[in-house]
Amino acid sequence: MNNNKNDIIRKVYFASGCFWGTEYWFMKAPGVMNTAVGFMGGNMDSPTYLQVKTGTTGHLECVEVVYDTTQTKYEDLVKLFFETHDFTQTDGQGPDIGSQYLSCLFYTEETEKTIAKNYIRRLEEKGYKVATLLQQASVFWIAEDYHQQYYEHKGAQPYCHSYQKIFE
Protein backbone atom coordinates (compact mmCIF):
# COMPACT_ATOMS: atom_id res chain seq x y z
CA MET A 1 0.00 0.00 0.00
CA ASN A 2 1.41 3.39 -1.00
CA ASN A 3 0.50 5.87 1.75
CA ASN A 4 0.85 9.56 1.16
CA LYS A 5 2.18 11.43 4.23
CA ASN A 6 -0.82 13.79 3.96
CA ASP A 7 -3.12 10.78 4.39
CA ILE A 8 -1.31 9.66 7.56
CA ILE A 9 -0.54 12.96 9.33
CA ARG A 10 -3.58 15.23 9.71
CA LYS A 11 -4.32 18.62 11.30
CA VAL A 12 -7.66 19.33 12.96
CA TYR A 13 -9.01 22.23 15.00
CA PHE A 14 -11.06 22.36 18.20
CA ALA A 15 -12.34 25.28 20.28
CA SER A 16 -13.68 24.50 23.74
CA GLY A 17 -13.09 27.54 25.88
CA CYS A 18 -9.71 28.48 27.25
CA PHE A 19 -7.21 27.02 24.80
CA TRP A 20 -4.82 26.09 27.61
CA GLY A 21 -7.22 23.48 28.99
CA THR A 22 -8.21 22.20 25.56
CA GLU A 23 -4.58 21.72 24.61
CA TYR A 24 -3.82 20.00 27.93
CA TRP A 25 -6.18 17.11 27.12
CA PHE A 26 -5.23 16.75 23.47
CA MET A 27 -1.50 16.69 24.28
CA LYS A 28 -2.15 13.53 26.30
CA ALA A 29 -4.23 11.74 23.65
CA PRO A 30 -2.79 8.65 21.94
CA GLY A 31 -1.66 9.35 18.38
CA VAL A 32 -1.38 13.11 18.87
CA MET A 33 2.00 14.25 17.63
CA ASN A 34 1.81 17.98 18.27
CA THR A 35 -0.52 20.71 19.44
CA ALA A 36 -0.53 24.49 19.15
CA VAL A 37 -2.88 27.09 20.57
CA GLY A 38 -4.17 30.04 18.60
CA PHE A 39 -7.22 31.64 17.10
CA MET A 40 -9.68 30.87 14.31
CA GLY A 41 -12.85 32.26 12.80
CA GLY A 42 -12.41 35.99 13.24
CA ASN A 43 -12.47 39.10 11.12
CA MET A 44 -8.86 40.31 11.27
CA ASP A 45 -5.45 38.99 10.29
CA SER A 46 -2.75 38.08 12.81
CA PRO A 47 -4.72 38.77 15.98
CA THR A 48 -2.94 38.90 19.32
CA TYR A 49 -4.18 37.38 22.53
CA LEU A 50 -4.88 40.85 23.92
CA GLN A 51 -7.08 41.63 20.90
CA VAL A 52 -8.95 38.32 20.94
CA LYS A 53 -9.65 38.39 24.69
CA THR A 54 -11.72 41.57 24.19
CA GLY A 55 -14.30 39.43 22.36
CA THR A 56 -14.48 41.95 19.49
CA THR A 57 -12.41 40.19 16.81
CA GLY A 58 -14.78 37.28 16.19
CA HIS A 59 -12.01 34.74 16.82
CA LEU A 60 -12.33 31.72 19.08
CA GLU A 61 -9.49 30.40 21.17
CA CYS A 62 -8.59 27.23 19.28
CA VAL A 63 -6.20 24.29 19.35
CA GLU A 64 -4.52 22.82 16.31
CA VAL A 65 -4.06 19.08 16.78
CA VAL A 66 -1.62 17.18 14.57
CA TYR A 67 -2.22 13.45 14.73
CA ASP A 68 -1.15 10.18 13.16
CA THR A 69 -4.10 8.41 11.52
CA THR A 70 -2.39 5.05 12.01
CA GLN A 71 -2.49 5.63 15.78
CA THR A 72 -5.89 7.29 16.31
CA LYS A 73 -8.99 8.34 14.42
CA TYR A 74 -10.65 11.73 14.05
CA GLU A 75 -13.67 10.16 15.73
CA ASP A 76 -11.60 9.48 18.89
CA LEU A 77 -10.50 13.12 18.98
CA VAL A 78 -14.11 14.31 18.63
CA LYS A 79 -15.09 12.09 21.58
CA LEU A 80 -12.26 13.59 23.65
CA PHE A 81 -13.35 17.09 22.64
CA PHE A 82 -16.88 16.50 23.95
CA GLU A 83 -15.70 14.63 27.06
CA THR A 84 -13.38 17.43 28.26
CA HIS A 85 -15.62 20.51 28.28
CA ASP A 86 -19.19 21.67 28.83
CA PHE A 87 -20.55 21.58 25.28
CA THR A 88 -23.94 22.79 26.57
CA GLN A 89 -22.67 26.18 27.78
CA THR A 90 -23.77 28.96 25.42
CA ASP A 91 -21.81 31.97 26.73
CA GLY A 92 -18.26 30.68 27.10
CA GLN A 93 -16.70 27.88 29.08
CA GLY A 94 -16.82 27.60 32.84
CA PRO A 95 -15.80 30.90 34.40
CA ASP A 96 -14.47 32.18 31.05
CA ILE A 97 -17.39 34.15 29.60
CA GLY A 98 -17.33 35.64 26.12
CA SER A 99 -17.62 34.81 22.45
CA GLN A 100 -13.92 33.93 22.22
CA TYR A 101 -14.56 30.94 24.54
CA LEU A 102 -17.40 29.27 22.62
CA SER A 103 -17.39 25.56 21.79
CA CYS A 104 -16.76 24.84 18.10
CA LEU A 105 -15.68 21.96 15.91
CA PHE A 106 -13.84 23.35 12.89
CA TYR A 107 -13.91 20.83 10.06
CA THR A 108 -11.38 20.72 7.22
CA GLU A 109 -13.25 18.23 5.01
CA GLU A 110 -16.75 16.85 4.58
CA THR A 111 -15.89 13.56 6.32
CA GLU A 112 -15.01 15.46 9.49
CA LYS A 113 -18.24 17.46 9.23
CA THR A 114 -20.27 14.24 8.93
CA ILE A 115 -18.54 12.67 11.95
CA ALA A 116 -19.02 15.83 14.03
CA LYS A 117 -22.73 16.01 13.12
CA ASN A 118 -23.10 12.35 14.08
CA TYR A 119 -21.64 12.97 17.55
CA ILE A 120 -23.78 16.07 18.07
CA ARG A 121 -26.83 13.97 17.13
CA ARG A 122 -25.77 11.21 19.53
CA LEU A 123 -25.46 13.73 22.36
CA GLU A 124 -28.88 15.19 21.57
CA GLU A 125 -30.33 11.67 21.64
CA LYS A 126 -28.87 11.35 25.16
CA GLY A 127 -30.84 14.47 26.13
CA TYR A 128 -28.09 17.08 25.94
CA LYS A 129 -28.75 20.52 24.49
CA VAL A 130 -25.55 20.92 22.46
CA ALA A 131 -24.29 24.49 22.06
CA THR A 132 -21.21 23.46 20.05
CA LEU A 133 -20.86 25.28 16.74
CA LEU A 134 -19.81 23.46 13.57
CA GLN A 135 -17.82 25.62 11.15
CA GLN A 136 -15.48 25.14 8.25
CA ALA A 137 -11.89 25.73 9.30
CA SER A 138 -10.33 28.99 8.20
CA VAL A 139 -6.88 30.45 8.84
CA PHE A 140 -5.32 29.31 12.12
CA TRP A 141 -3.41 32.14 13.75
CA ILE A 142 -0.90 30.79 16.26
CA ALA A 143 -0.88 32.49 19.67
CA GLU A 144 2.17 33.98 21.33
CA ASP A 145 4.85 31.55 22.55
CA TYR A 146 4.01 31.95 26.25
CA HIS A 147 0.58 30.36 25.61
CA GLN A 148 1.96 27.17 24.02
CA GLN A 149 1.85 24.04 26.25
CA TYR A 150 0.92 26.39 29.10
CA TYR A 151 -0.05 23.80 31.72
CA GLU A 152 2.93 21.60 30.96
CA HIS A 153 5.27 24.54 31.62
CA LYS A 154 3.33 25.59 34.74
CA GLY A 155 3.14 22.05 36.11
CA ALA A 156 -0.57 22.56 36.77
CA GLN A 157 -3.94 21.24 35.60
CA PRO A 158 -6.77 23.11 33.87
CA TYR A 159 -9.22 25.05 36.03
CA CYS A 160 -12.14 24.85 33.57
CA HIS A 161 -11.60 21.56 31.74
CA SER A 162 -12.00 18.09 33.21
CA TYR A 163 -12.59 14.66 31.78
CA GLN A 164 -16.02 13.00 31.96
CA LYS A 165 -16.68 9.76 30.06
CA ILE A 166 -19.78 10.13 27.85
CA PHE A 167 -19.25 7.72 24.95
CA GLU A 168 -18.56 3.99 24.98
Active centre residues (catalytic): 18
CB 85 within 8 A of CB 128: no
What's the CA gap between 149 and 151, in Å, rounded?
Answer: 6
Nearest CA to 158 among 65, 12, 27? 27
Residue 125 CA: distances (Å) to CA of 90, 121, 134: 19, 6, 18
What's the CA gap between 39 and 68, in Å, rounded?
Answer: 23
Nearest CA to 65 among 43, 96, 38? 38
